[in-house]
Chain A
Amino acid sequence: MIDVLVIGAGLSGLMTAYTAAQAGPLSVKVIAKGLGALHWGAGTVDLFGYSPTDHSRPIQRPLDFIGGWLAEEQPQHPYSILGVERVSAALAAFTALTAEVGLPYQGARTTGDNLLLPTAVGSARPTFLAPQAQIGGDLSREEPMLIVGFTGLRDFYPELVAENLSKLGHQARAAFLPLDLLTGRKDSNTVQQAQGMDDHIRRAGLAAALKKLARPGERVGLPPILGLNDHAAAWADVQAQLGAPVFEIPTLPPSVPGMRLFVALRDKLRQMGVRVEIGMEASSAAAASANGAAGHVEWVQSETSARPLKHYALNFVLATGGIMGGGFDSDHTGRVWEIVFDLPLTTPQQRSKWFRPAFVNPEGHPVYTGGVETDEHLQPVDRDGKLIYENLWVVGDLLANDNPLLQRSLEGAAVATGHAAGLLLARRQR
């Protein structure tokens, strides 16, 4: 029997699997219905961008914030449950892992600061770690920016980016290149365009075209098209041939930066002997419990096209995501439930209590703040704080008492809780 079954292949699940397999070493398997939220996001690690008390300005030093205000005011927040040391350790482990797999992530020039990176509408987004191809957009730097789009590319508007960046006080201008520099396909999105840049002849063509546009001293911002499978070389080549810093600005899903990270982590897990099986939707579980004690999960069942399949393991990690990832479902009566174990949730079970009036609401919508409550070991507890299953861990967006999209903490919480759970599992099995 394997040591750990991880359900969910998003960042939290992959991070748990990696840590458990590495630190144990434990035998681990990952099953998931589909690909996680990495394919939708910016491919960065947002740690904490905006404080619940002041949504207007980004937090400058998120770890200080987590160890200070948050620990004090929101002791039930997932970061507070872990404590700032475990969060820091997780970020260090993630940084080392990405370097090892050839997709190095970096932070701000001043260690511990949030980065501010340009978005595809030209706003400045706070994030903590970014792949090196995005670091060149660091808005604490003074170099003027040339934002280059491609005529007919529907997911990137360089004039809009440059105009808003200028309004925010950054020097930026826009330019266009023809789309056929990237791909010959008529119906391409950034994924196929990035694939086009895996070809070194095409990227030489792009570099030559950029060279005609860029002025001395400028750095060049592009949509995320610098290679998919051969990204590191594509980015380095274009930068070297152009002779100026080049950076990517993430745009609409499917997320090229997120896919690169997913593939790098999945391949690493495979090398370590961890199977990642996509297309396995966990739908139910069986547990035994002896009078009043915490239950013991025996197996999780997945639905496949052929037949239901029972997955046995000593330990189980639930990383199915929240409402967005599909770990929670809901209906018109206001019921919100966790789909595999039907774990108790703090989410209000009345639709009239789910939302606030405005789409962008600095207080956040209560339906998104709810989730699974755990003890300090990330094991789910019931309303009385009693352990429910002695061999089940919960990580990522399922956790209660945060609003990761509003606070910009989605990936940070995934990395931190995934890493912590992996270490706890390793310690337990040893």
Chain B
Amino acid sequence: MKRLDTEILVVGGGATGTGVAWDASLRGFQVVLVEKRDLTHGTTGRYHGLLHSGGRYVVKDPVSATECIHENRILRKTHTHCIEDTSGFFVVTPEDEGEYPDKFVEGCAKTGVDCSEISLAAALRREPLLNPRVSRVFEVPDGSADSFLATHATAQAARQAGARILNYHEVIDLIIEGGGGPRVVGARVRDVVRDEEIEIRAAMVINATGAWANKITGMAGITISVVPGKGTMVAMSHRLTNTVLNRCKKPADGDIIVPVHTVAIIGTTDERVTDPENLRIEPWEVQLMLDEGERLIPGISKARVVRAWAGVRPLYQEDYAGASREATRQFALLDHKTRHNVAGFLTITGGKWTTFRLMAEKTVDKACEQLGTRKPCVTAETHVPGVEQGHYWLGHRLHEIEEDHLQGQLVCECELITRPMLEGAARQNPTLTLDDLRRDVRLGMGPCQGGWCTYRAVGIIHELGKAGVWSGEAGEQTAEAAEWAVAYAHSPKRHPGGVKASTDGAGAIPVLFNPNLLLHDFLQERWKGVTPILWGPQLKQERLDEMIYLCLLNVDHLPESALASPLTDFYLYDSTPNENLEAPK
């Protein structure tokens, strides 16, 4: 069995895990991070993209609100290009009257969330589709975040500080040694791609698996009270608002619309579930999002819906059994030595994307304390690569394409992805499925949901493979190329020229890119996300995609159709609408 030795082993490649790896490596620790799938495959990649101002929590959960505004200010500096400075409105609709608005203003003042009331006329000038029947509008510094890019950028910063990030590495078991009380001394990990086992020894194991936290603690015989809270989100095919729109009321289902890139996302439901893995989207949830969205933007439910998906919040509350919406959104750092007499093992869970850096800081502080070293956290003052691009703005890609006449290189007309962008992402980040590239460059995320770009991406990746990009002779990377890995993933202009594939991880990436498998997996992955919302124009679009892939390309009769990737079954999960049109009482 292969063996790796490190000081800190981080389990989980979401915002929190990569944040911990970044923080710990900046403090001089040797760090290895393992993630069982692609980075952000879990909750981080499945949320609505809100950079919280804290406004949503000022009344109910003031500690969270204070954390949010504090981190909001920091992330705008450390992850500038991953954030769009959209600003946010809290609006009082006719359904939201009562005492809440005054409590909201008071709460903002107490928690330090910048809040100013603006006139309805001013709000409507900025957001003409906003419900004109709202009575009051408060502006707060909400933003929208690209959680894929931010996580990759954090991971890249960690790599530059010496961390090793191993995705598609799944923890099979923790290694526990006795003698003076049990101690976690590492983990047995399976490399899912090469199908081999690795033993990773570490002085400290940090469980940053969020809603999956119990699966890891269970390996040490510890049960913790993390409840997966499912949130369903619906993406509209247009950016119907440029400002985050929140209802000014106690947080509830469907009370927020976040503009992210080219779409507007209505979020969310909040349902306790038992399994964080396979999340079924119920028809009533989609309907509820659209009905509630109507209160913020009248007519929104008649607009085209492009996709629906669900993520799981990791809700931590000790001895708590109530509704998941009521659970605190604060994070929880669990020291298993004091709680369960298991040393060398920490769990960080709960919280939200906006507070990931703070969560990492507190976790690594605790690790320092236990490892007997004390180095200060520097992440609040350290930039991840790419921040000099400034805040994201919607016209960014189009601007670069027009400036540099890159129209001929477009492989996705919906999301303005150029061939070099796609190649750069495929070369730099271990890519097992096209879904991984989707997270990197937004492949297949536009209105046609992969109709054109799936075929093109498969063809391009196949050509890269033929050219020997993943042949195992990747060679040394230049510092510039290493930095590029994600910093400019969204920039059509700045792409690497002739960069070799990343060799991060255990050796070169194997050639398991079977083009026919990539094609099948991605078509099914896209299908899974559109079936809950297929009607009207999107159903027509889907039929056209069928015409392309069945009639024109005959992909259901390609050779090697029996091949499966580690994610094939995941994509095959049945997401077609069931008969649950009403919310359970």
Contacts and interface: CB of A to CB of B under 8 A. Distances in A.
Interface centre among A37, A324, A332, A368 (most CB of B within 10 A): A332
Contacts of A37: 547
Interface residues of A, number: 60
B322 interface: no
A40 B456 contact: no
A408 interface: yes
B198 interface: no
Interface in A316-350: 322-324, 326, 329-332, 334, 350
Given A157-B463, A164-B559, A351-B577, A252 B548 contact: yes
Interface stretch (B165-173, B258-266, B403-411): B403-411
Given A121-B519, A157-B462, A350 B552 contact: no
Interface string B526-549: 110001011110011001101111
Given A160-B459, A252-B548, A352-B579, A121 B535 contact: no
A111 B56 CA distance: 71
Nearest to A174: B466
A141 interface: no
Given A352-B579, A359-B527, A123 B558 contact: yes
B-side binding surface: helix, strand, loop or mixed? helix
A119 to B, nearest CB: 5
A168 interface: yes
A292 interface: no
B91 to A, nearest CB: 25
A330 B539 contact: yes
B286 interface: yes
A-side binding surface: helix, strand, loop or mixed? loop
Given A160-B458, A324-B543, A352-B578, A186 B407 contact: yes
A50 to B, nearest CB: 8
Contact of B540 (A124, A125, A323, A406): A323
Nearest to B460: A157
A160 B517 CA distance: 13
B273 interface: no
Contact of A332 (B286, B466, B554, B575): B286
Contacts of A251: 552
Contacts of A406: 550
A355 interface: yes
B555 A360 contact: yes
Q: How large is the interface on B (under 10, 10 to 19, 20 to 34, 35 or more residues)?
A: 35 or more
A250 interface: yes
Contacts of A40: 544, 547-548, 552
A196 interface: no
Nearest to B286: A332
Nearest to A334: B535
A159 interface: yes
Given A332-B286, A357-B574, A124 B408 contact: no
B37 to A, nearest CB: 21
B15 interface: no
Interface in A1-57: 37, 40-42, 46, 55-56
A119 B556 CA distance: 12
Contacts of A152: 408-409, 419
A377 interface: no
A360 B523 contact: yes
A324 B544 contact: yes
23 contacts: A40-B552, A41-B547, A46-B551, A121-B515, A125-B553, A125-B554, A152-B409, A157-B459, A167-B560, A185-B408, A186-B408, A252-B455, A323-B539, A326-B540, A331-B536, A354-B577, A356-B576, A358-B524, A358-B572, A367-B539, A405-B550, A405-B551, A406-B550
The 10 closest A-B pairs by CB, nearest first: A157-B459, A187-B407, A359-B527, A324-B543, A357-B574, A167-B559, A355-B576, A125-B554, A186-B408, A123-B554
Interface of A: 37, 40-42, 46, 55-56, 58, 119-125, 152, 154-157, 159-160, 163-164, 167-168, 185-188, 250-253, 322-324, 326, 329-332, 334, 350-352, 354-360, 362, 367-368, 405-406, 408, 410
